[in-house]
Structure formats: structure tokens, C-alpha cells
């Protein structure tokens, strides 16, 4: 009976392809065990990953998935900012949320922030103050909704989501 049990342990089913294979068809691991996928499945997976993430030639080209011009240098891909995108940035950056601007331009919020710094653009102080007031009102409404006494005022400080007291102004 132990001989039959040993024969069963010499074969294993690959969970990826479902074939029953000899143990030698699975890569050995450092801990003494064997990989769960067989050689062929691991190779097919690695080929697919290489195809997805391979390095592309340097230069400017139309990106397939983004549908826009990008500049590629080494492993980094930079957005090619055309004149229309730059004019939208100049016109709307000072009084528009970065999230909305990023959605308009089809780039990330971080890209909008970086480009604005590069172009020397700043948010309008009145716009930032109105956003701050709006957020303060929302925070007060939410605190009352949750049943916390008092409210939030300008100058309160937080660590994470915990109130730690007023900021001392000296």
C-alpha cells in the first residue's frame, strides 16, 4: 500500500492547465518544494508578461491604449503636451480643481500638478479660500451628523483622523 502511495506522490495536477504530470515537470523551489504550475504554464505566463512589459524603442509615437502622443525614453513614458492641452491649462488651472482638469485633459492629477509647476501657474487665492470654506462647512455638517459636539474651526489640527487640540499662535 505504501508503494501505491509513493506512486501517487510522484505525480501532481497543474492547477493552471489541469494536466497530471510527473514532479520533475514542476520547477523546484528554494524551500525544497515544487512550483504549483508546471514548466509549460510558467513559461507561457512569463512570455506573456514580457510581451506586456517589454521595453519599447525610444522616441515620440502614438500610444495604442492611451490614444495620444507620448515620448518614450528608457523605461519612462512621458505625455506629449500639445498646444491645445497647454492653452487649456493656462485658461483653467487658476480656478478649476486638479481632478476636473485632469479628467478634461485625459491625464493624471499628478501630471497636471507637475505641468502647472513647470509652467509657473498658481491657483487663485479666492478660489482656494472658497474651497477651504466649503470643506469646513462639509466637515462641520458631517461632525454634527455623527453626533460630535462643537465643530471644526480654522486652526484645529489633526493627526490622521484624530483631533489633537488647537494650534498655538504666538
Residues 6+ apart with CB under 8 A from 88: 101, 104, 105
CA pair distance 131, 84, nearest whole angstrom = 27
Domain extents in the chain: 2-53, 59-119, 125-166
Q: Would you write out the chain's pLDDT as a tens digit for each of its 170 residues? A: 455 555 557 899 999 999 999 999 999 999 988 999 999 999 999 998 887 877 777 778 777 776 777 787 777 777 888 888 899 999 999 999 999 999 988 888 999 999 999 999 999 999 998 988 888 888 878 877 777 766 666 666 665 555 555 544 44
Answering whether pTM is above 0.85, one says no
From the candidate CATH numbers 3.30.60, 2.130.10, 3.40.50, 3.40.190, the one assigned to the domain spanning 2-53: 3.30.60
Residues 6+ apart with CB under 8 A from 95: 123, 124, 127
Amino acid at each position: 500500500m505504501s508503494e501505491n502511495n509513493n506512486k501517487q506522490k510522484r505525480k501532481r495536477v497543474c492547477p493552471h492547465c489541469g494536466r497530471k504530470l510527473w514532479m520533475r515537470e514542476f520547477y523546484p523551489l528554494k524551500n525544497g518544494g515544487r512550483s504549483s504550475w508546471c514548466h509549460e504554464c510558467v513559461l507561457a505566463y512569463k512570455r506573456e508578461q514580457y510581451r506586456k512589459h517589454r521595453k519599447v524603442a525610444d522616441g515620440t509615437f502614438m500610444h495604442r491604449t492611451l490614444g495620444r502622443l507620448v515620448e518614450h525614453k528608457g523605461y519612462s513614458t512621458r505625455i506629449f503636451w500639445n498646444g491645445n492641452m497647454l492653452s487649456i491649462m493656462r485658461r483653467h488651472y487658476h480656478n478649476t480643481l486638479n481632478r476636473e482638469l485632469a479628467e478634461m485633459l485625459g491625464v493624471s492629477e499628478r501630471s497636471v500638478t507637475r505641468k502647472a509647476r513647470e509652467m509657473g501657474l498658481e491657483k487663485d487665492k479666492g478660489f482656494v479660500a472658497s474651497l477651504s470654506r466649503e470643506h469646513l462647512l462639509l466637515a462641520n455638517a458631517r461632525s454634527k451628523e455623527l453626533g460630535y459636539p462643537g465643530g471644526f474651526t480654522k486652526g484645529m489640527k489633526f493627526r490622521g483622523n484624530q483631533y489633537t487640540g488647537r494650534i498655538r499662535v504666538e
